[in-house]
Amino acid sequence: MQADQPMEAAPPASMHWRSLLLSPLVVLSGAVLICALLLTQPLMLPLGAMYWDLVLYIDAARRMADGQVPLLDFITPVGPLGYWLYAGLGDVFPKAQPLLLAQWSLFAITAPPMVLILREADRASRATAFGLLLPYLVFQILPINVEQHSFFPGIDGFGIYNRQISIVLYVLVCGLTTLRDRRVLTGVLVWCLLALLLIKITGFLAGGLIVAFGLVAGRIDIRTSLLAILVGGLGLAILELRGGLLSAYAASILALLEINAGGILERFFRAASLHLDIVAAGSALMLTLGWLERQQLMACLRRLVRERSWPALRHLLDRDLFWLAVTLVAGLFLETQNTGGQAFIFVWPVLLGIVLGWAGSGRHGAFAVLALVAATAIPPVETVLQRAGRAGLAQAGYIPLPQTHLGTLGQVSQHPEVVGRAAKMQAIYAGSIETFEAIARQEILPGQTLYSELDFQLGWLLAVDAGIAAILAHEAKTGVRFATIMSLNFVNPFPALMSRGSVRHIAIGADPFRAVPQPDAKALAAVAAADLILLPLCPVTVANQALHRVYAPAMAGRREIELGACWKGFVKG
């Protein structure tokens, strides 16, 4: 440098620190840390629809603490990863509200690949990095579904594993659209696909469709895909060698498919109608892109016909139009197999790419494209944020659930009117057993949406609390301690809440019409050995009666005992 040349001024230190603090990696780290700190506190959440789904995680964690292995020692409706995460972090955060623990435990899976993705995205554009990070944090942090099932605001206890696969798919699509380093991309793909496989098989199939398109479109080369298959296969082989977990998972999937086979076309129509705002806007966006880019598309198509080569095919397919089509189809397939979740959120990284390509471009039709992007992207995030805001504001007027024995499961609140109605309905159920038995004989529920109604969920918690009190009183009176407890109900919280053993070889999400295969000899023997089998009476339902019939061969010779107004017990004679 010449002596008379002016030296370029160094940026002030304050600017450097401001840039560092506004880094997406710092924001992500701060969000994870805040969530971890909140898990150390006994937080109260406003109860929402089908809160009892959460008990699957509590039940699984208790079983694993007793040495049971998911899929090998008990039947699960999905893969084991979510339960492993919950059980592992439950020991670290014993005071955590269990729904927040189930939701935030997925940070252990999604945050590491997001760090790699955000680091590369930030090098190109900080705005792009935050465009990927902020929706991710909204969906990862808030236990809220895009579907709403009740008038009074609350959090969603159902669809937890459906939310988890959607978030992992979001990370997967972020990696495919952002990462250019083949080694990093390979790692992210293997990590996400294995996670999807071990959370829920439908998530893996949807992710596999997207990754397969990425291979055909040239985002992934053959070498990368072969390496991913090798690494992923090695991981699966390790799981199989450690007790046959993979083959047990495959057998479980086949058994559930046999129970739930049929009606796939009807499910596609139902999923499309349920999310018509997103599907319609996304389809209109595809048509608009196809029309505006028709000349380029025709040129690529003519080249493909002329050359008939892989480069020509990739040049045609690696476009926003086709990426949008594939992610929408994957999202629609996913929703045919889901009940509740965060539908279509993993389309956002593709939509962000469309925004970057069209915003400020001055191209004809840019306004229409951006308007349709907004119409496709806004509904999920707006719904989740709006519902979370309503729940937070409404909780100021809510009251805690009165309970004694529910532990962290009982850290919920609701509107005084709903809590009062739940208590009154318990008394009505207990005093009208014959009426509800007659309803069950007609193979219908007392209400079409019974399980999603808040007063039912609160009443069920009150019944469990009263049931535990009745069991403890019976044990104190007779001097008999029930070491293993089974419940002829969708979920069984009693072993976890009372520190008792669970019956092996039965389902933890016992929906007799969708998730309970015919019990084999091992399952029947385990049920026969149970010290106490509970039948809920508040209310009597067709599902609980069906479970009673399924396990009746193993209950022969048992003596009935009353355990309060809402539970009938069956003990060994």
Q: Taking residues 31-43, what's their average pLDDT?
A: 97
Q: What angle do CA 465, 484, 474 make, to 5 degrees?
A: 50
One domain, residues 420 and 386: no
Look at residue 262 and tell me whether its pLDDT is greater than 70: no
| pLDDT given at position 14 | 56
Give the mean pLDDT of 52-75: 95
Within 10 Å of residue 121's Cβ, how many Cβ atoms? 25
Quote the CA–CA distance of 536 and 293 in Å, as a whole number.
61
Q: What is the per-residue pLDDT across 177-191, written as a single tens digit (0 to 9) for each?
A: 999 888 899 899 999
Closest CA to 155 of 44, 43, 45: 45
Give dist(CA 145, CA 383) in Å, integer. Answer: 8
Give the percent of the chain with pLDDT over 90. Answer: 76
- Running DSSP on this structure, what letter comes out for residue 340? S
Mean pLDDT of the residues in the chain? 91
Q: Is residue 351 part of a domain?
A: yes
165 & 305 share domain: yes
Q: Is residue 165 part of a domain?
A: yes
Give the domain extent around 314.
Answer: 18-46+106-391
Task: Indicate whether 180 belongs to any domain.
Answer: yes
- 350-386 confidence digits (pLDDT tens): 999 999 999 988 889 999 999 999 999 999 999 999 9
pLDDT at 272: 81
Q: Is the pLDDT of residue 471 over 70?
A: yes
- Residue 318 φ/ψ, nearest 5 degrees: -80, 65
Sorting pLDDT into bands at 50, 70 and 90, what band is 16? low
Shared domain check, 565 and 482 = yes
321 and 203 housed in the same domain: yes
- The dihedral sign for the CA sequence 227, 233, 236, 242: negative
Task: Tell me if 87 is assigned to some domain.
Answer: no
Beta strand 412-414 with 399-400 is: antiparallel
Alpha helices in 125-200 (DSSP H): 126-141, 160-178, 182-199
CA distances to 4, 14, 37, 125, 164 from 25, in Å: 41, 19, 18, 13, 21
Give dist(CA 355, CA 373) in Å, integer: 7
pLDDT band at 15; cut points 50, 70, 90: low
What is the tens place of the pLDDT at every residue in 460-469?
999 999 999 9
Q: Mean pLDDT, to the nearest integer, of 50-79?
A: 94
Total domains in the fold of the chain: 2
Considering the chain, what percentage of its residues have pLDDT values greater than 70?
95
pLDDT at 13 over 90: no
Instruction: Give the 3-state secondary structure of residue 501.
Output: strand
Between these two residues, 556 and 6, which has the higher pLDDT value?
A: 556
| 433-441 and 542-551 helices, crossing angle to 10° | 80
Return the higher-pLDDT residue of 59 and 19: 59
Does some domain include residue 161? yes
What value does the mean pLDDT take over residues 546-572?
95
How many CA atoms, within 13 angstroms, populate the side-chain half-sphere of residue 470? 19
| 376 and 255, same domain (yes or no) | yes
| Residue 237, in any domain of the structure | yes
Q: How far apart are CA 121 and CA 177, in angstroms?
A: 10
Least confident piece of the model among 129-133, 200-204, 524-528: 200-204
Which pLDDT score, from 0 to 100, does residue 194 have?
94
Chain segment 211-234, per-residue pLDDT in tens? 999 999 988 888 877 888 888 888
User: Using 50, 70 and 90 to split pLDDT, how confident is the model at 1?
Assistant: very low
Are 354 and 433 members of one domain? no
Q: What is the pLDDT of residue 3?
A: 44
Q: Do residue 284 and residue 424 come from a single domain?
A: no
Radius of gyration (C-alpha) of the chain in whole angstroms: 26
Quote the pLDDT of residue 372.
97
- 373 is a domain residue: yes
Q: What is the pTM of this model?
A: 0.94
Kindly report, residue by residue over 382-433, the tens digit of the pLDDT: 999 999 999 999 999 999 999 999 999 999 999 999 999 999 999 999 999 9
Amino acid residing at 334: L
Q: Name the residue type at position 103.
A: Q
Q: Tell whether 260 and 300 lie within a shared domain.
A: yes
Is the confidence at residue 106, as pLDDT, over 80? yes
- Residues 290-343 have pLDDT tens digits of 999 999 999 999 999 998 888 899 989 999 999 999 999 999 999 887 777 888
pLDDT category of residue 52 using cuts at 50, 70 and 90 = very high
Residues 6+ apart with CB under 8 A from 504: 68, 73, 74, 522, 523, 526
In angstroms, the first-to-last Cα distance of the chain is: 98
Angle at 57 between CA 494 and CA 407, to 5 degrees: 50
- State yes or no: pLDDT of 80 exceeds 70: yes
| pLDDT surpasses 50 at 562 | yes
78-87, 143-152, 504-513, range with the lowest pLDDT: 143-152
CA distances from 384 to 37, 161, 394 (A): 23, 17, 15
379 in the same domain as 279: yes
For residue 99, tell me if it sits in a domain: no
Coil/strand/helix, residue 525: helix
At residue 529, what is the residue type? A
The reply to whether 439 and 318 lie within a common domain is no
Report the distance separating Cα 194 and Cα 109, nearest Å: 10
User: Are 167 and 256 in a shared domain?
Assistant: yes
157-169 pLDDT, tens digit per residue, is: 888 999 999 999 9
Question: Which domain-ending residue is among 334, 359, 391?
Answer: 391
- Which residue, of 391, 425, 457, is where some domain finishes? 391
Looking at the structure, tell me whether residues 257 and 194 fall in a common domain.
yes
Give 8's pLDDT tier (boundaries 50, 70, 90): low
- Mean pLDDT, residues 496-513 taken together: 94
Band (pLDDT 50/70/90 cuts) for residue 2 is very low
d(CA 344, CA 162): 11
